Amino acid sequence: MSDFVPPYPPRPARTYPSLGLIRRARRNFLEIWSEKAFRAQFMQTKVLARKVFICNSPDTVQHVFSTHNAAFERKSPQMRHALQPLLGDGLFISDGETWRRRRKLVGPVIHVSKLPEFAPVMVDTILETRARWAAGAEGQEIDALSEMAELTAEIICRTIFGRQLGGAHAREVVEGFSDYQRLVGQTDALSLLGLPDWLPRFHKPGLRKAKDRIHAVLDGIIADYRRRGATKDVSVIGHLLDAIDEETGEPLGDEALRNEAAVIFMAGHETTANTLAWAWFLLSQATDVEARLHAELDEVLGGRVPTLADVPRLRYTRAIIEETLRLYPPVPILAREALEDESIRGRPVPKGSLVMAVPWLIHRHKLLWERPDHFEPERFLPGAAGAPSKFAYIPFAIGPRICAGLSFGLTESILSLATLAQDVSLRLKPGHVVEPVCRLTLRPGESLPMLVHRRAARAPVAPRAAAASGCPHLG
Ligand code: HEM
C-alpha cells in the first residue's frame, strides 16, 4: 500500500469573506477550501447577492443530483454563460425538454454497447503515440499533459469524425478548444455577484474567433457527410446522422448536430487527458504502485497489445484510474441552480440559489474515506471497502445527468495506460513543481514535463516531487 500523499493546495484556516473568496476562486478554485470544509456535510454561504449551498454528504448529493434532480437539473449560470457561445443548446448545458430529447439521441451513440466499434480505433491511436515515444531517445523529455491531450483529441476525432478530419483540421479543432478554455476562465464573477441572467456578459476578445474556428471545421464535416450520404463509418457523427428524434420523427438539424458534436469533443477530450496526465504523475511518485501495475500488465497481456476483452482483467490498472479520478477529479465542481424554492435537510433553499457538489471536497472527506489524501488504488480493487457510497464518489457526476461518455472515458483511460505503461515509465522532470489548478477542468498546472524511460532500460526512481502543497509529507 502506497504511503504517497500527492500535492494539494494549502488549506486556509478559515473561509474567506465574499470578495476574498471571489479573488481566490478566480485564481484557483481549489484554494478556497479550509480544513473544516473537508469534514462538513452541508454548507451554506452567501456570495454577495447569491445564496450558495454545498452538498458534501452522500444524502445531500443524492437529494440534489438524483431523487430531486428535476428541481436542480439546470446548470449554473456561470457554466451556461461560459459555454453557450460554443455549444448553443447542446446537451451539456441544456435543460428541460431539450435536454431530455438530446440525451435520448446522444446517449446511445457513445454508449457502452458501441465500445466494440470504438476500442480498436482507440488502441490503434494509442499505438501511434507509443511508437513515437519509442523512436525518441532514452530519457527524452515530453510534456505529458499536452501529449495526453493530443492523444485523447485524436481518439475523439477518429471516433466522432472517422477519417474525414485529417491532420490540419484536427489541429485546428484542438487548438480552437484549447484557446476557448483558456479564454473563458473558470469563474464568471458577474454571475457570482448575483446579476440577473438576462444582462449581457462580455467575453474576452479571441473567444469568438476560437468558437468560429471550431464551428467552421465541424460544419464542414457535417456538410461533407450530408453530401456523400456516408453514414456507415465508425464515427459518432455517422451515428448521429442516423438518429431520429422520437418525438418529431425527424433527424437532428445541422446546427443541433454541430452543437452535439462540439459537446462530445469538449466533454470527452480534456477530461480523459487530465486523468491520464495525473495518473502518470502519481505513478512516477509511487513506484510501488507502478511496479504492481507492471506486474499486472505482464501477467494479463504477456507483451500483447490490449483489446477490449482484456479490460475486465486489468483490475489494478482500472483501480489506478479510479483512484486518480478520486484524488484529481477532472470536473472538480458540479454546479446547479435551484429552479424553485426548495429545501435540503429541512433548510430552505430559495429559487435561484447556486447548489453545488464539489468532487474535490467529497472525494477527500475526512469522515467518509480512510486516509483520504493518500494515493491508494487498492481501495478500488474488487472486495476492498471501495467508495463509502456511490454518492460520495462522483467523478462522472451522478443521477440522470451522469456523464454520457463514462464507459468511453474509463475504457479509453485503461487502454491508454495499459498500452503505454507496457513499454515505458515516465519520471517527473527533476525540479518541476506540480500544482493542481482548477480551470474549466482540474489540471496539473499548465504543463507536466516528464522524462520517458523504456521499461527495459529500468527507469530510475526519481526523488519525490517537492510540490506546492499543503500536505504534511511535502511541506
Ligand atoms: C475520465 C473522463 C471523463 C470524466 C471524468 C467525465 C466527467 C463528466 C462529468 C462530471 C459530467 C457532468 C458535468 C456536470 O454535471 O456539470 C460529464 C458530462 C458529460 N460527459 Fe463526461 N467525462 C469524461 C469523459 C467523457 C467522454 C469520453 C465523453 C464522450 C465521448 C463524455 C461526454 C459527456 C457528455 C455528453 C456529458 C453531458 C451529459 C448530460 O448533461 O446529460 N465524457 N462528464
Measuring from atom 16 of ligand 1, which residue has the nearest CA? 334
Q: State yes or no: pLDDT of 55 exceeds 60.
A: yes
Burial environment of residue 303 by CB neighbours within 10 A (0 to 12, 13 to 18, 19 or more): exposed
Q: What is the pTM of this model?
A: 0.91
Say what the pLDDT of residue 165 is: 54
Q: Please check the confidence at residue 64 and state whether its pLDDT lies above 80.
A: yes
Question: Relative to the CA of 336, which ligand 1 atom is closest?
Answer: 16
- Closest C-alpha residue for ligand 1 atom 40: 92
Question: What spacing in Å lies between the alpha carbon of 107 and ligand 1's midpoint?
Answer: 11
Kindly give the distance from the C-alpha atom of residue 110 to the centroid of ligand 1, in angstroms, as a whole number. 11
Residue 162 has pLDDT above 80, yes or no: no
For residues 405-421, average pLDDT: 98
Quickly state the pLDDT bin for 475 (edges 50, 70, 90). Answer: very low
Atom 41 of ligand 1: nearest residue by CA position: 401
Nearest CA to 467 out of 427, 425, 436 is that of: 436
Residue 392 Cβ < 6 Å to ligand 1: no
- pLDDT confidence band for 471 (50 / 70 / 90): very low
Determine the atom of ligand 1 nearest the C-alpha atom of 413.
1
- For residue 92, how far is its CA from the centre of ligand 1 (angstroms)? 8
Considering 117-131, 145-159, 205-219, the range whose residues carry the highest mean pLDDT is 117-131
Is residue 147 within 8 Å of residue 224, measured between CB atoms?
A: no
Q: Band of the pLDDT at 474, cuts 50, 70, 90? A: very low
Task: Identify the burial level of 250 via C-beta atoms within 10 angstroms of its C-beta, where 0-12 means exposed, 13-18 middle and 19 or more buried.
Answer: exposed
- Strand partners for 443: 437
**395 alpha carbon to ligand 1 midpoint, in Å?**
9
Q: Is the CB of 332 under 6 A from ligand 1?
A: no
Residue 227: other Cβ atoms inside 10 A: 8
Q: Is the CB of 159 under 6 A from ligand 1?
A: no
Q: Cα separation of 302 and 276, whole Å?
A: 23
CA of 258 to the centre of ligand 1 (A): 17
CA 94 / ligand 1 centre spacing (Å)? 14
Which amino acid residue places its CA nearest to atom 11 of ligand 1?
403
Cα–Cα dist 174/425, whole Å: 26
Count CB atoms within 10 A of the CB of residue 106.
24
CB atoms within 10 A of CB 28: 16
**Burial of residue 368 (number of CB atoms within 10 Å: 0-12, 13-18, 19+):** buried
Domain residue ranges in the chain: 28-41+106-186+200-332+372-457
| 71 Cβ contact list (under 8 Å, min separation 6) | 338, 339, 340, 342
- Does residue 157 contact residue 137 with C-beta atoms inside 8 Å? no
pLDDT tens, residue by residue, 341-391: 999 999 999 999 999 999 999 999 999 999 999 999 999 999 998 789 999
Q: For the chain, give the mean pLDDT.
A: 86
* Residues 281, 434 contacting (CB under 8 angstroms): yes
Label residue 142 by pLDDT band (50, 70, 90): very high
Burial of 349-365, coded b for 16+ CB within 10 Å and e otherwise, reads beebbbbbbbbbbbbbb
Residue 125 dihedral angles phi and psi, to the nearest 5°: -70, -40
User: Cα of 349 to ligand 1 centre, how many Å?
Assistant: 27
Calpha distance 241→132 (Å, rounded): 34
The length of the chain in residues reads 475
DSSP H helices, 203-314, are: 207-228, 236-242, 254-285, 287-301
Q: Would you list the DSSP string of 254-284?
A: HHHHHHHHHHHHHHHHHHHHHHHHHHHHHHH
Read off the pLDDT of each residue in 91-104 and give the average, rounded to a whole number.
91
Backbone angles phi, psi at 54, to 5 degrees: -120, 115
For 221, the 3-state DSSP assignment is: helix
Superfamily of domain 28-41+106-186+200-332+372-457: Cytochrome P450 (1.10.630.10)
Best of 74, 271, 322 for a ligand 1 pocket test (most atoms within 8 Å of beta carbon): 271
Amino acid in the structure at residue 381: L
**Between 274 and 167, residue with greater pLDDT:** 274
* Burial (CB count <10 Å: 0-12, 13-18, 19+), residue 242: exposed
What are the pLDDT digits (tens) for 244-290?
Answer: 777 678 888 888 888 988 898 888 888 999 999 999 999 999 999 99
Helix axes 77-87, 166-184, angle to 10 degrees: 150
Pocket flag, ligand 1, residue 91 (CB < 6 Å):
yes
What one-character-per-residue DSSP string does 74-109 give?
Answer: EEPHHHHHHHHHHHTT-TTT--HHHHHHHHHHHHHH
Whether 334 is in the pocket of ligand 1, judged by its Cβ within 6 Å, is yes
In three-state secondary structure terms, 113 is helix
> Are 259 and 86 in contact, with CB atoms under 8 Å apart?
no
